[in-house]
Structures are given as C-alpha cells and as structure tokens.
Amino acid sequence: MFNRNEKLSDYVKLYPMVAFLIIINLLVYLAGLVPSIRIEILNYGAAANWLIADGEYWRIITAVFIHGGFLHILSNMFWLYVFGPELEKIAGKLRFFTIYMMSGIIGNVATYFVQGPEYVSVGASGAIFGILGAFLALVYYTRKIFPQLRQMIVPLAVISVIITFLQPNVNATAHIAGLLTGAAFGFINFHPKNIIKWREQRQKRS
C-alpha cells in the first residue's frame, strides 16, 4: 500500500494533489535559499502569535508551506510522498486537500491559543499528522477486514506522538491538533458506505 515505486510522471498523474502540495512546499523552500527572500518569507509568512493577534490571520495558512531547514522539509515531504497517495486515492483530491489544509490550519490555530504570544512556528507537520489521523479513522473502519493496516498505522502513530514530545523545537500542539483534526475528518467521511459510493461515482465519470 505504501510502497511507492511509480515513475515520477505516473506519480504526478495518479496523485495530482499530493504532487501539487509537494511542489508548492519545495518551491517555497528553494526560494528561501536566497537569504533576502527567506527573510521576507519568514517576516510575512511565519505563524508568529503576536502578529496573528494583531490581525495577520493569513499566517495560520502560509506557515503550513514554510519550513525551518532541509531536514525539516525532507521529513515532512517524505511522509507526504509516501502516505499521501493512498489517502488521496481513497478520499479524492478535494477531500484529501481539505484534510491536509484543515489539519495544518487548526494545528496553527491551536498553537495560537495554547502557546505564548512570543511563539513562532512554521512547517507542514500539523498537516502531515492530519494524514496520519485520517488513517487512524480508516484503521477503525477496516479493523476486521484489513487488520494489516492497523498493524502498520497504530504503532507508527504511537511512535510519532512519543517522538513529538521527546524532540526539542517541535510544535507538539500543532502535531496533536493536526492528528485529532485528521482523525475527526476521517471518522466523518470514511465510513465504508461512503468509500463505496465515491468509487461508484468515479467509475461513472471514467
């Protein structure tokens, strides 16, 4: 399920929303390699709580596409590259995009309310944890017919949460809020009857 062996052209064709999100994140990161541009990106896009409080609400969105360094974006884009396609295949482009963005946004909103006014954060980790949360909902719905998914996702989720609280400079609030948001969307949307209906609709359109 999560073994990605498609050619790049096939990957983009099969999973256009995942590919789009990876490209946007990479473009922002590459632009930020120019020091003067990176300063502007951080000044106008990072989720700085005191600036959000002053009315710069767009930061809860833009911060989802900004990363703190190479390892930061490598980790998040690896997770998106590996786990995003299956979720996009199941949910469809629009639902997948909604899960991803709302998990990232709500993660930043939670950070605003939980962390102090001086707190600044960037990154897609909340959105990535939202994907993981959505898979946990799928684990629940498929626990009897597809136990292999539970054996893979549940330990991964537990380890990811533990690591969240062990690593320094990690926005644990965004991670947990993103996880819960993705799970909520998953429980609402991923009932097996809905998935069967979506597949029938796609077959009619194809």
Q: In this predicted structure, what is the pLDDT of residue 148?
A: 87
The catalytically annotated residue of 36, 75, 125, 160 is 125
DSSP 87-154: HHHHH-HHHHHHHHHHHHHHHHHHHHHHS-TT-EE--SHHHHHHHHHHHHHHHHHTTTT-HHHHHHHH
Q: In this predicted structure, what is the pLDDT of residue 70?
A: 96
Q: In this predicted structure, what is the pLDDT of residue 184?
A: 97
Q: In this predicted structure, what is the pLDDT of residue 89?
A: 92
* Known catalytic residue at 125: yes
Q: In this predicted structure, what is the pLDDT of residue 206?
A: 63
The catalytically annotated residue of 36, 160, 175, 191 is 175
- The per-residue pLDDT string of the chain (206 residues; one tens digit each, 9 = 90 and over) reads 677 888 989 999 999 999 999 999 999 999 999 999 999 999 999 999 999 999 999 999 999 999 999 999 999 999 999 999 999 999 999 999 999 999 999 999 999 999 999 999 999 999 999 999 999 999 999 888 888 888 999 999 999 999 999 988 899 999 999 999 999 999 999 888 888 787 777 777 76
Q: Which of 78, 72, 202, 191 is nearest to 134 (CA)?
A: 191
Q: In this predicted structure, what is the pLDDT of residue 78?
A: 95
